[in-house]
């Protein structure tokens, strides 16, 4: 595999307290990897370490390397990191207003990230910004470009953040619960956009989420964190069907990654995998779901779950 991001023995701590321990993983070009784990297991600190955005008093050790960048990211200076952030490495957070400036028009904010990293005229950047807003399917992009963040819905704001993240065709996109605050339909549209964007640009995706259905929908590989460590990793289908770590099995059993019978309740499927508890024996996960409601209507196996994601399984042997 051609690794674009290599994290090697990353440890993060605050004073003497270890928070992330000995985490190693790679992301290949165009690869979509989920990072799951209970609250406080170290997912966000891992992603923030990659961006060099750890909070005051929290320090990283180990190695983080980005293909094409000849220096180490752990301990790199603000100047070096500033050249990489927003260009090769971008992040989409859960709450779009933490990323957007409430006093600046949307189009100017998108244009700014283009101009920081490449020498293009203000006019060209503005025109490209409108194209990017169109790419994330915002209605009337030229008008949206003139709007301020408070004039958009939460889902539209998150699309703007995605447009900013995609602006410079990054090598790696880190997403930290980007769809958690959105309603089910908007969440599905956002996932489809992210999937399409990484496919178009060949970016690697690290997707942090609590929602295992989202992982089954969008990711090929998954890393499971527990107590600051990666306790299990592998292709989504393998890890979800045959979890090896007790914690992963518990996480799957507690998840709502199961078929919805239309009642809004989430029944247990008979014949489920021991330990995981909810999947039909021999089921195969589809990881290239378009994540759109209309797809689910056409194909019953693409079933919306109560958690707002999509359980993308179908019986083994079906194409």
Ligand X SMILES: Nc1ncnc2c1ncn2[C@@H]1O[C@H](COP(=O)(O)OP(=O)(O)OP(=O)(O)O)[C@@H](O)[C@H]1O
Judged by CB under 6 A, the residue of 3, 14, 81, 184 near ligand X is 14
Alpha-carbon radius of gyration of the chain = 20
Residue (of 77, 73, 61) closest to 20 by Cα position: 61
CA–CA distance, 217 with 213 (Å, rounded to integer): 6
Judged by CB under 6 A, the residue of 10, 33, 44, 248 near ligand X is 44
Binders of ligand X among residues 55 to 114 (CB under 6 A) are 55, 57-58
Size of the site for ligand X (CB under 6 A): 13
> What is the nearest approach in angstroms of ligand X to the Cβ of residue 292?
27
Q: Is 255 in the site for ligand X (CB under 6 A)?
A: no
Q: Is 43 in the site for ligand X (CB under 6 A)?
A: yes
> What is the nearest approach in angstroms of ligand X to the Cβ of residue 190?
18
Are the CB atoms for 289 and 295 separated by under 8 Å? Answer: yes
Pairing of strands 221-226, 229-235: antiparallel
Q: 249: which residues sit within 8 A by CB, 6+ positions away?
A: 243, 275, 276, 277
Q: Is 35 in the site for ligand X (CB under 6 A)?
A: no
CA–CA distance, 5 with 60 (Å, rounded to integer): 16
Q: What are phi and psi of 91, to 5 degrees?
A: -140, 140
Are the CB atoms for 223 and 233 separated by under 8 Å? Answer: yes
Q: Tokens 């995998």 label which residue?
A: 273
Q: Is 19 in the site for ligand X (CB under 6 A)?
A: yes
Q: Choose one: 38-46, 60-68, 270-278, 310-318; the region binding ligand X (CB under 6 A).
A: 38-46
> What is the nearest approach in angstroms of ligand X to the Cβ of residue 193?
23
Q: Is 181 in the site for ligand X (CB under 6 A)?
A: no
> What is the nearest approach in angstroms of ligand X to the Cβ of residue 130?
34
> What is the nearest approach in angstroms of ligand X to the Cβ of residue 25?
15
Between 237 and 252, CB nearer to ligand X? 252
Binders of ligand X among residues 161 to 180 (CB under 6 A) are none
Judged by CB under 6 A, the residue of 34, 37, 243, 308 near ligand X is 37
Are the CB atoms for 284 and 313 separated by under 8 Å? Answer: yes
The beta strand positions in 73-147, using DSSP E, are 89-92
Judged by CB under 6 A, the residue of 1, 39, 103, 121 near ligand X is 39
Q: What are phi and psi of 245, to 5 degrees?
A: -95, 140
Q: Is 149 in the site for ligand X (CB under 6 A)?
A: no
DSSP one-letter code for 291: -
> What is the nearest approach in angstroms of ligand X to the Cβ of residue 48?
7
Residues that bind ligand X (CB under 6 A): 14, 19, 37, 39-45, 55, 57-58
């Amino acid at each position: 595999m051609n690794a674009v991001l290599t994290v090697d023995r990353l440890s993060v701590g605050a004073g003497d307290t270890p928070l992330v321990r000995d985490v190693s993983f790679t992301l290949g070009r165009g690869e979509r990897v989920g990072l799951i784990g209970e609250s406080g297991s170290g997912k966000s600190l891992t992603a923030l370490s990659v961006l060099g955005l750890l909070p005051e008093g929290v320090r990283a050790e180990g190695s983080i390397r980005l293909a094409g960048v000849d220096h180490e990211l752990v301990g790199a200076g603000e100047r070096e990191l500033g050249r990489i952030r927003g260009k090769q490495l971008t992040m989409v957070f859960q709450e779009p207003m933490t990323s957007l400036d409430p006093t600046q028009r949307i189009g100017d904010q998108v244009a700014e990230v283009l101009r920081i990293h490449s020498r293009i005229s203000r006019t060209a950047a503005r025109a490209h910004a409108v194209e990017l807003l169109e790419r994330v399917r915002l209605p009337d992009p030229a008008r949206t470009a003139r709007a301020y963040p408070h004039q958009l819905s939460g889902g539209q704001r998150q699309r703007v953040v995605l447009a900013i993240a995609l602006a410079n065709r990054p090598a790696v996109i880190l997403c930290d619960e980007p769809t958690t605050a959105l309603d089910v339909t908007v969440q599905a549209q956002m996932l489809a956009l992210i999937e399409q964007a990484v496919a178009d640009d060949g970016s690697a995706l690290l997707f942090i989420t609590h929602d295992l259905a989202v992982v089954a929908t969008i990711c090929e590989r998954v890393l499971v964190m527990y107590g600051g460590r990666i306790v299990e990793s592998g292709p989504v289908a393998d890890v979800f069907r045959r979890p090896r770590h007790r914690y992963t099995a518990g996480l799957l059993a507690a998840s709502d990654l199961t078929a919805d019978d239309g009642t809004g309740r989430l029944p247990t499927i008979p014949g489920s995998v021991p330990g995981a508890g909810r999947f039909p024996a021999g089921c195969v996960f589809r990881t290239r779901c378009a994540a759109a409601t209309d797809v689910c209507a056409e194909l019953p196996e693409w079933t919306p779950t109560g958690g707002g994601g999509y359980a993308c399984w179908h019986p083994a042997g079906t194409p």
